Amino acid sequence: MKIFKSKHKLKEEISNIENISFVPTMGGLHKGHISLIKKSQNFKGKTLVSIFVNPKQFNEKKDFLNYPRNLKKDLRILKHLNVDLIYLPGLKDIFSFQVKNKIFLDKFSKKLCGKSRKGHFKGVLNIVNRFLELIKPKYIFLGIKDFQQSYLISRHIVKREINTKVINCKTIREKNGIACSTRNNNLNKYQLKIASNVIKYLKNKKKLIKKKLSNFKFVNIKKDLINLGVKKIDYVELYNLNTLKRPKSKREKFKIFIAFYLNKTRLIDNI
Ligand code: AMP
């Protein structure tokens, strides 16, 4: 396992590698990240994992400072997984060069998380655009837990004709149903129980909605979630993943997208 903190050294190392499978992360590694890494290792070539908590995608400084970090543990996990290359850029290293491609921000960025987290996706694309330019990976592995993020990165790649293929990876969950997330580290037992009840509730609701779309009444769902102990809800919305519109017929495949708060911790999921 080779660790790089400088883009110049990294570029030197990878200049002769033809196929790079890239897994960008913000660290605080969990089973979700591990599944992306293992998937990338099934592809020909080398796996490169980055760990960088990107300040530009946090719209509140406090949230950035409270983001769980554990580099020692992360490196132990990566070593155990036998990952080829690790990139740990500092702020200056990653933001101090001129990029060729301008960020393309699809209009879907205005929906869901885009409404409540101003500048978030621009911040995400800024860093991903930089990584893509430095690393020029053949593949980038992204989780559909962050569906909107993955979609917007794909759109940027297509629009800017970048030679990287997005590999979407399924959501890995804990036994209690909640999606693995670094932010779960900030939840106590009681909050984890509420989060688990929210997911169970939404799974059940989805079955009902599938039978009858009018079973989706935002106001009622919101009330039920508050009763379960949720403090604040940014959104609960249905989306057809192909049309990116609200489903009109029960034959359409859809997902329930949610962003909610347990105390100060914001969680997102799609079910
Ligand atoms: P993050 O470190 O939260 O920025 O996530 C890095 C990558 O891991 C992103 O592509 C996420 O979508 C993906 N990811 C996060 N949580 C999960 C999960 N529970 N299952 C699968 N992938 C995930």
Atom of ligand 1 nearest to the CA of 35: 21
What is the whole-number distance in angstroms between the Cα of residue 37 and the centre of ligand 1?
11
Atom of ligand 1 nearest to the CA of 145: 12
Both 141 and 64 in one domain: the answer is yes
Tell me how far apart the alpha carbons of residues 134 and 18 are, in angstroms, rounded to a whole number. Answer: 14
User: And the tokens for 218?
Assistant: 């935002």
| Nearest CA-CA partner of 222 in 254, 259, 255, 188 | 259
CA atoms within 13 A on the CB side of 72: 0
Residue type, 265: T
Q: Going by CA atoms, what residue is nearest to atom 18 of ligand 1?
A: 32
Residue 72 belongs to some domain of the structure: yes
What is the whole-number distance in angstroms between the Cα of residue 12 and the centre of ligand 1?
28
Both 192 and 148 in one domain: the answer is no
Residue 176 belongs to some domain of the structure: no
Atom of ligand 1 nearest to the CA of 149: 12
Both 146 and 48 in one domain: the answer is yes
Both 32 and 95 in one domain: the answer is yes
Both 37 and 113 in one domain: the answer is yes
- Lining ligand 1 with CB less than 6 A are 25-26, 32-33, 35-36, 142-143, 145-146, 169, 171-172, 179-182
What is the whole-number distance in angstroms between the Cα of residue 179 and the centre of ligand 1?
9
User: And the tokens for 233?
Assistant: 């809800």
Catalytic residue among 33, 80, 120, 156: 33
Query: End of a domain among 104, 134, 169?
Result: 169
Q: Does the pTM of the predicted model rise above 0.85? A: yes
**pLDDT for 217:** 85
Both 157 and 219 in one domain: the answer is no
Domain around 220: 182-270
Asked if 194 and 229 touch (Cβ cutoff 8 Å), the reply is: yes
Query: End of a domain among 169, 202, 229?
Result: 169
* pLDDT tens column, 165-209: 999 999 999 999 999 999 999 999 999 999 999 999 999 999 999
Both 59 and 130 in one domain: the answer is yes
Q: Going by CA atoms, what residue is nearest to atom 7 of ligand 1?
A: 25
Residue 239 belongs to some domain of the structure: yes
What is the whole-number distance in angstroms between the Cα of residue 16 and the centre of ligand 1?
28
Atom of ligand 1 nearest to the CA of 143: 12
Tell me how far apart the alpha carbons of residues 8 and 11 are, in angstroms, rounded to a whole number. Answer: 5
Burial of 252 (0-12, 13-18, 19+ CB in 10 A): middle
Question: How many structural domains are present in the chain?
Answer: 2
What is the whole-number distance in angstroms between the Cα of residue 226 and the centre of ligand 1?
26
One digit per residue, the tens of pLDDT, for the chain of length 271 reads 999 999 999 999 999 999 999 999 999 999 999 999 999 999 999 999 999 999 999 989 999 999 999 999 999 999 999 999 999 999 999 999 999 999 999 999 999 999 999 999 999 999 999 999 999 999 999 999 999 999 999 999 999 999 999 999 999 999 999 999 999 999 999 999 999 999 999 999 999 998 888 778 888 999 999 999 998 999 999 999 999 999 988 789 999 999 999 999 999 999 9
Say which CATH number the domain at 220 has: 3.30.1300.10
Best of 87, 157, 169 for a ligand 1 pocket test (most atoms within 8 Å of beta carbon): 169
Best of 21, 26, 33 for a ligand 1 pocket test (most atoms within 8 Å of beta carbon): 33
What is the whole-number distance in angstroms between the Cα of residue 55 and the centre of ligand 1?
17
- 8 is an active site residue: no
**pLDDT for 218:** 85
